[in-house]
Structure 1
Amino acid sequence: MPRPIEDYALIGDTQTAALVGRDGSIDWLCLPRFDSGACFAALLGEPEHGRWKLAPAEEPPRQVRRRYREGSLVLETEFTTADGVVRVVDCMPPRDRTPDVIRVVEGVKGRVPMRMELVIRFDYGSVVPWVTRTGEELRAEAGPDALSLYSPVRTQGQGLHTLADFTVSEGQRIPFVLRWHPSNEPPPPPLDGLTAAADTQAWWREWSSHCTYRGSWHEPVHTSLMTLKALTYAPTGGIVAAATTSLPERLGGVRNWDYRFCWLRDATFTLYSLVLSGFREEAQAWRDWLLRSVAGDPAKLQIMYGVAGERRLTETDLDWLPGYAGSKPVRTGNAAVHQFQLDVYGEVMDALHQAHRTGLVRDRRAWDVALVLMDFLESGWSKPDEGLWEVRGERQHFTHSKVMAWVAFDRAVRSAEHNKLPGPVERWRKLRHAIHEEICQRGYDPKLGAFTQAYGSSSMDASLLLMPLVGFLPPRDPRVLGTVRAIERELMHEGLVRRYHTHETEDGLPPGEGVFLACSFWLADNYILQGRMDEAEALFNRLLGLRNDVGLLSEEYDPVNRRMLGNFPQAFSHVGLVNTAFNLERHRNSPAIHRRENHNGVQEQPSS
């Protein structure tokens, strides 16, 4: 079995990221971007598919402890062995010209024999590079990629691996620097690894100092915000959903998707959490990425884009990789990019509305984009779609999708009224009312006393928890209370929330997955709005307890086997953590404030 997902920590340079295992092995790294081919892909296969291990020669060590240095994404892993104690410091300096991985071996106590194994395999483990040595530089190149390793430690080649055996003494610090560059260009000059590690820590600490959160959950909120920053593609402001592809929603299953892209539905959640936390520059960059990416024909609005706004995200299976825990296929790209998902129109309109409401610098293009989107939505809202969960099956009239269409018209009306912007406001009001009435008539099942996943369905769906959070109905409306009770009854598993019941007939895929962590944060938000504070805090603390030892969350969780599932770390999970922490904190002095509402509490809409 591979290492558990929770055994990994994240380092990154705000353009790509690496996963470092508790055993000192970097098993995942794509260069030069999040969505580039991996040079270390052991996470989805075997060591032979690429990794960089730096750890004591004694295996296993007697004890392993790790942490991020305070206020930074500089990772320390401390190994205790029979010979002493050694620390490995890992980081990726914020990008200058090239992406770099810095590893520093520090002797803490005694004299510890160490071993390094570097296995470079470009293009997701499929390409063995040509390796040469010039002085202290070890260079590996193949096709468009080249990597240069610099270290005072002498290495040797063996069986297409690069190995080094050395000993570190107390007080000694030995750097290793790995630098990527295009193979057609000369390598960048050597980098001082010791200085680069210190500068990286200083950079992160300066960035973290701007956080405005001062509440009871300082450490998990700050770690979550650093994770979001690390998942940001700095040149454009886009934020990827996760750093990985194809980590399974069920071990051995086929629900393995590529999450190294930017989803529109993450926009408002993310923008709101960044603004709340004082990171307005990042929020502004995310809003600007959004405007650039959605420009064009609104009928062709995609649910996701590449980090620079790319639209072709062709899905391909990498059949040479066996997958994490045998979970095949391993995919790059994402075919869901071609789906029609109605809810993203509401998310985009909501994000633009929130950007105005929170005082981000206005962009005159924003309202032009909004008018074009609303023109399409006047007829498009009535169409069936694939829904929030990207079900790969027949389109349906999903209730959540219709609610988000209502959100689009609601935010268009509010924006036009509050900002004196042009638009057919009266027509939007009528459509807002008509959609609200239809949802309450067709999306609500009086026998169940709850809204259901789709019109005519009797199934529950955790996305319905968003209805009061977006202001569609008051949080104490009997229909909302009934829906929350039904979700608690039908979708709760070991105290956490599933997205929906997976059935093979729905999308042609075998059923089964873990609980989706963002949904449990939504339930906690509902508890807050209903005044169920003890339950909200209990659920929130339960979710905090699912983080790994360095504070990271995956997409899903298996509460029976106590294993993380899905891509990692997951932006959606960390955004949920930040927003729920703010809601809990603010409830102590005033009503809960949700991301989409004004600062006087939830805006209640008239019942239909």
Structure 2
Amino acid sequence: MAQRIEDYALIGNCEGAALVGLDGSIDWMALPRFDSQASFAALLGTADNGRWQIVPAVPVTKVSRQYRAGTLVLETRFETAEGTVLLIDAMGRREGHGDVVRLVRGVSGSVPMRVESVLRPGYGAVVPWVSRLADGRIAAVAGPDRFVLDTPVALRGEDFRTVGTFTAEEGSETPFTLTWSPSYHPVPQPVDAAQLVELVTEDWNDWTKSHRTETAGDWVPVVQRSLITLKALTHYETGGIVAAPTTSLPEQLGGPRNWDYRYCWLRDATLTLYALLTSGFLEEASAWRDWLIRAIAGSPDQMQIMYGIAGERRLDEYELPWLAGYEGSTPVRVGNAAAGQLQLDVYGEVLDAMYQARRLGLAPDDNGWNLERALVEHLETIWHLPDEGIWEVRGGRRHFTASKVMVWAAFDRAIRSVEEFQLAGPVDRWRSVRDEVHAEVCAKGYDAGRGHFTQYYGGTELDASLLMMAMVGFLPADDPRVVGTVKAIEERLMEDGFVKRYDEAGNVDGLAGGHEGAFLPCSFWLADNYVLAGRVDEARALFERLVALCNDVGLLSEEYDSRARRQVGNFPQAFTHVALVNTAHNLSREFGPAQHRAESRETGAATA
């Protein structure tokens, strides 16, 4: 059975990723890419669906772990009555190959150890053909995938598993390397596992030291860990940032809200850009901006809300019935049908991201403005339509208030790009549409009787995405309508001090029943709203409560179930860590990302 979500730690090579549990088991691994068919899938099923465990063969009295400072190299310390062992996990990348390295170091005493490798490509469904190579390494082949396991430990086959035992003596070091390569390529050369761990450590340290995190004030360690996580979820070639390295970790334990997050969302564009640029990650920010332009290039009416790692558009959704699901949470899904939804908010995110990139000093892209202008001109023809909204609901289209706010943002940023950067565009026409959208939102999205904006026109439900209003400058934070909306969210969407996405009773997502956890990015947004409203002490207190939810190595998922007191949702979640970084900067700088984004020379707020 899989462990709690927060009991896992991430290792990766900026191309693929794996999750390592406190029990020394890699229960999820996708190579060579984040969205490849997992070869260890016990996370969503059982050990028979694939895992790789190295653990003491005697009772463990204490487990502790940490990342090497400034790196993604994981060290897990097992203490037993017989002695102490250190398990070091890392991933490296060679041309056409991916290496998972595990080193077992004897710290004290003499500890019997056991190893079990259950390779199951095809999301835990395929039993590979296993053979021993001439040099003693073990090869497992299944279709296009080959895995080569290299270790001095004597291994044997047992019930379609590869198992072995050894002893970790004080001062000893036992290496294991699992290398992925295409099965139709020559067998990869072996690597020195200990040397590779040190090279990976050095590479991460060089990267970390080349960027600044001192602007995070009191929260430098947790911000640095979030930025390392964000980097680990960034594809080294394409610049695309996946929302998470996992699929189908449930938003509702035992329920159906299980989605594949191994793709790149436009929704995250502006906040990701801020997190990178305010931390000095110019190269990564530029790569993300360039990915964005390539992904959305083409006919404006075909823009999607998300894309594959290289900008792929076909993200067909299907189910994996042979996997029992994380703690029985079914169905297990691969692909994401939400890619075909209409979400008007993404136009605002794209235009805002491109505008902020110019404003924050990224070198302009020659094709960027032409593409942006085409998007805005298309938006002029569709902004009045209902959509599925920021949360990708499957309960039917509505006129979601937050979507229309981001429509306003799209026209606002297009106007400001023309006026501030001497670009060409019909600003008078765009200004007219922007003002029309603003007036409509204030008239149809605001419930004067209740004193707050609503989730959708004519409704009574609340939605935490309304917190974006002040953050994008639609209305100032001290506007009575924003104040009333924040107050209503505090009263109706907060549970144990954290913010839920929306009123579940409204069944807007089309999945009746169940209890969804608090949405962590929205909880950070509430702290950002506190900062904008001058409620800094409350912002700091909320931020510190959120940071306290990080697991022992500083990672956060998408949501937190306060009833079960557990993290839920795909893990680790890039959007959550992006929100953490931005809120830390909002609290640590006189003029942080929230103030910078909300600042407007001329916004609809002035005419509201």
What TM bracket, shorter-length normalisation?
Answer: over 0.9
Match of 2:313 in 1: 311
Distance 2:593 2:67 in 1: 31
Match of 1:286 in 2: 288
CA drift of 1:240 comes to 0.3
Within 5 Å, which residues of 2 pair with 1:127-526? 127-134=126-133, 135-214=135-214, 215-503=217-505, 505-511=507-513, 512-526=515-529
Q: Which amino acid aligns with 1:292?
A: R
Contact 2:582 2:593 in 1 (8 A): no
Q: Which amino acid aligns with 1:196?
A: L
Distance 2:438 2:563 in 1: 39
- Structure 1 runs (4+) deviating above 4 angstroms are 590-593, 600-604
Structure 2 residue 109 is the aligned partner of structure 1 residue 90 = no
Q: Secondary structure at the match of 2:210?
A: coil
Within 5 Å, which residues of 2 pair with 1:11-160? 11-59=11-59, 61-134=60-133, 135-160=135-160
Structure 2 residue 545 is the aligned partner of structure 1 residue 546 = no
Number of equivalent positions: 604
Distance 1:205 1:48 in 2: 37
Contact 2:89 2:103 in 1 (8 A): yes
CA drift of 1:379 comes to 1.6
Match of 1:577 in 2: 580
Match of 2:567 in 1: 564
RMSD, aligned α-carbons: 1.4
Contact 2:106 2:172 in 1 (8 A): yes
Q: Which amino acid aligns with 1:596?
A: R
Task: Show structure 1 runs of 5+ residues with no match.
Answer: none
Q: 1:558-602 CA distances to partner (integer Å, 9 max, x unpaired)?
A: 112111100000001000000000000013xx577445245x999
Task: Show structure 2 runs of 5+ residues with no match.
Answer: none
Q: Secondary structure at the match of 1:191?
A: coil
Q: 1:435 to 1:199 in 2, by over 3 A?
A: same
Distance 1:216 1:24 in 2: 32
Q: 1:517-548 CA distances to partner (integer Å, 9 max, x unpaired)?
A: 00000000011111111111110000000000
Match of 1:4 in 2: 4
Q: Secondary structure at the match of 2:544?
A: helix
Contact 2:132 2:139 in 1 (8 A): yes
Match of 1:596 in 2: 597
Question: So what's the TM-score if we normalise by structure 2?
Answer: 0.98
Q: 1:602 to 1:228 in 2, by over 3 A?
A: farther
Distance 2:354 2:506 in 1: 37
Distance 2:239 2:104 in 1: 33
Matched-pair identity in %:
57
Q: Secondary structure at the match of 1:283?
A: helix
Q: Which amino acid aligns with 1:483?
A: T
Distance 2:501 2:269 in 1: 20
Distance 2:58 2:355 in 1: 57
CA drift of 1:213 comes to 2.0
Q: 1:89 to 1:384 in 2, by over 3 A?
A: same
Contact 2:390 2:403 in 1 (8 A): yes
Q: Secondary structure at the match of 1:93?
A: strand
Contact 2:445 2:457 in 1 (8 A): yes
* Range moving further from structure 2, 456-465 or 133-142: 133-142
Distance 1:395 1:595 in 2: 32
Contact 1:315 1:335 in 2 (8 A): yes
Contact 1:474 1:604 in 2 (8 A): no
Q: 1:183-232 CA distances to partner (integer Å, 9 max, x unpaired)?
A: 11111100110000001011111111122221210110000000000001
Distance 1:530 1:569 in 2: 30
Q: Secondary structure at the match of 1:29?
A: strand
* Range moving further from structure 2, 95-104 or 158-167: 95-104
CA drift of 1:298 comes to 1.1
Contact 2:116 2:163 in 1 (8 A): yes
Q: 1:487-531 CA distances to partner (integer Å, 9 max, x unpaired)?
A: 001100001000001247434313321000000000000111111
Q: 1:129-174 CA distances to partner (integer Å, 9 max, x unpaired)?
A: 0000122310000111110011111111100000010001111111
CA drift of 1:251 comes to 0.9
Contact 1:529 1:592 in 2 (8 A): no
Contact 1:239 1:261 in 2 (8 A): yes
Q: Secondary structure at the match of 1:141?
A: strand
Distance 1:607 1:210 in 2: 45
Distance 2:173 2:281 in 1: 35
Contact 2:85 2:104 in 1 (8 A): yes
Q: 1:454-504 CA distances to partner (integer Å, 9 max, x unpaired)?
A: 000110000000100000001101110000000001100001000001247
Contact 1:449 1:483 in 2 (8 A): yes
Question: So what's the TM-score if we normalise by structure 1?
Answer: 0.98
